[in-house]
């Protein structure tokens, strides 16, 4: 096939409807039946890939293609407040012969806990934390969607109010910002997708680039009119007329320093952390706290230096276990070795399942976390396969999930369960290859 035809298929991976996307994926897999390993010896994994159902350059089908071409052995979808792309992701994994897992990322309230009023793992507000729902049994996807619908509805009301605030900041420059006209079309809201602050900022980025283009006029407006801080690294990116990712770089810069100027704290849309844990456990889902850790230099460029949960981590992790959480997810490339050693030791002490995932939501990010190739993180590879096994077995019968009362009764030790579900997943993979 000529290169231009293959390029057209890759472009079709982001077509408007899922059948077209999946058809393009099938054609691409037929052209490239052997998946690359790209130096990872078939062990690279990533359980935290955002898609167009929250904010990302990648549809579920394209995310699977990108994951496969990056050499991932497994991949996981993780959209904010949405499982709208989960079934497409599952089918894309089947087409690409790439084992996948599905999840969703939500914010929870810690009101009424010892952590009320504290900055936890959320750069935008206190008392609210990001958590991940991992290994969602496919039989419970509709139940999860029903759980998330009111969250999306409440967030939409807050989004409108934040858009009005931001529009007032832009008005002196003759720029308008309309939620329905400028922001909703950037999302898959009508298909059960979520609209996040990144969608709002993306609409602004488009308008700023249309008015100013790359260069000093753009960065001057950001500093003078919007009161933003811009690092030398970001400024160089925004001055480069050949930068293919300038829109995302501009968005990232605004995420780090502009959001606080129009942000309205989330309230009604955040379920209580205990209620979230109860829902997850009832539906065979693994609720995981998303460790952030104190930030010095943000890898993704969208977080400023700030202190988060490190000063009270022991107390927090012990409380998470008491609330009904069974796991912690973290990103090895984002933290220091000392931070990782502390997190891992606390997880082992408290019997918390350790999961990894690199937060993929913009084109500069690599799907592969090379830091995870360090033998120090070997257990995270097993964890990814354990998630696959859990998801498959719990889909058939919730009682067979990794943290069901039945499973814990027969296999009390976490390491025994991790090995069991890992081997189950690898056995399933082997059976599909023959």
- Provide the pLDDT for residue 268: 86
pTM score of the predicted model? 0.95
What's the CA gap between 52 and 187, in Å, rounded? 7
- Provide the pLDDT for residue 298: 47
Per-residue pLDDT of the chain (434 residues; tens, 9 = 90+): 566 699 999 999 999 999 999 999 999 999 999 999 888 878 999 999 999 999 999 999 999 999 999 999 999 999 999 999 999 999 999 999 999 999 999 999 999 999 999 999 999 999 999 999 999 999 999 999 999 999 999 999 999 999 999 999 999 889 999 999 999 999 999 999 999 999 999 999 999 999 999 999 999 999 999 999 999 999 999 999 999 999 999 999 999 889 999 999 999 899 999 999 999 999 999 999 999 999 875 444 444 678 999 999 999 999 999 999 999 999 999 899 999 999 999 999 999 999 998 899 999 999 999 999 999 999 999 999 999 999 999 999 999 999 999 999 999 999 999 999 999 999 987 666 54
Query: 377, 356 in Cβ contact below 8 A?
Result: yes
CATH homologous superfamily for the domain 3-144+270-432: Metal-dependent hydrolases (3.20.20.140)
pLDDT in tens, 109-126: 999 999 999 999 999 999
The torsion angles phi and psi of 332, rounded to 5 degrees, stand at -55, -30
What's the CA gap between 197 and 124, in Å, rounded? 11
Strands (E), 22-134: 45-49, 74-80, 100-109, 128-134
Q: What is the CA radius of gyration of the chain?
A: 21
Adjacency order of strands within the sheet including 286-290 = 45-49, 74-80, 100-109, 128-134, 286-290, 327-330, 353-356
C-alpha distances out from residue 203 to 15, 45, 228, 326, Å: 20, 32, 17, 38
Query: 89, 77 in Cβ contact below 8 A?
Result: yes
Residue 144 has what DSSP assignment? H
Other beta carbons less than 10 A from residue 338's beta carbon: 10
């Amino acid at each position: 096939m000529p290169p231009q035809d293959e390029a057209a298929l890759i472009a079709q991976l982001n077509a408007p409807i899922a059948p077209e996307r999946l058809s393009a994926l099938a054609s691409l897999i037929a052209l490239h039946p052997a998946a690359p390993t790209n130096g990872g010896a078939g062990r690279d994994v990533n359980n935290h890939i955002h898609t167009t159902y929250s904010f990302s350059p990648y549809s579920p089908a394209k995310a699977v293609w990108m994951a496969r071409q990056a050499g991932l052995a497994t991949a996981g979808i993780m959209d904010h407040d949405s499982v709208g792309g989960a079934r497409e992701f599952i089918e894309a994994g089947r087409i690409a012969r790439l084992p996948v897992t599905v999840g969703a990322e939500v914010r929870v309230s810690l009101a009424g806990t010892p952590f009320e009023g504290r900055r936890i793992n959320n750069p935008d507000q206190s008392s609210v934390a990001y958590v991940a729902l991992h290994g969602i049994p496919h039989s419970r996807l509709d139940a999860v969607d029903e759980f998330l619908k009111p969250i999306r509805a409440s967030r939409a009301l807050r989004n409108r109010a934040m858009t009005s605030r931001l529009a007032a900041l832009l008005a002196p420059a003759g720029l308008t910002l309309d939620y329905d006209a400028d922001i909703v079309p950037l999302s898959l809201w009508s298909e059960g997708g979520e609209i996040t602050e990144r969608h709002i900022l993306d609409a602004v980025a488009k308008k700023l680039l249309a008015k100013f283009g790359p260069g000093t006029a753009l960065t001057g407006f950001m500093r003078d009119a919007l009161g933003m801080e811009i690092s030398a690294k970001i400024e160089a990116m925004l001055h480069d007329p050949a930068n293919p990712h300038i829109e995302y770089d501009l968005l990232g810069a605004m995420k780090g320093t502009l959001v606080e100027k129009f942000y309205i704290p989330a309230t009604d849309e955040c379920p209580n952390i205990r209620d979230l844990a109860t829902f997850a456990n009832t539906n065979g889902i693994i609720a995981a706290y998303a460790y952030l850790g104190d930030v010095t230099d943000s890898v993704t460029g969208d977080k400023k230096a700030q202190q988060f949960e490190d000063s009270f981590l022991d107390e927090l992790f012990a409380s998470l276990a008491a609330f009904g959480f069974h796991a912690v997810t973290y990103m090895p490339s984002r933290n220091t070795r000392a931070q990782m050693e502390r997190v891992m030791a606390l997880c082992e002490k408290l019997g918390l399942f350790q999961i990894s995932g690199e937060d993929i939501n913009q084109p500069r990010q690599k799907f592969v976390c090379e830091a995870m190739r360090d033998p120090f993180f070997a257990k995270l590879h097993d964890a990814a396969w354990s998630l696959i096994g859990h998801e498959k077995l719990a889909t058939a019968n919730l009682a067979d999930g990794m943290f069901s009362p039945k499973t814990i009764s027969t296999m009390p030790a976490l390491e025994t369960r991790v090995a069991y579900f890992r081997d189950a997943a690898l056995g399933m993979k082997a059976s599909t290859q023959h």
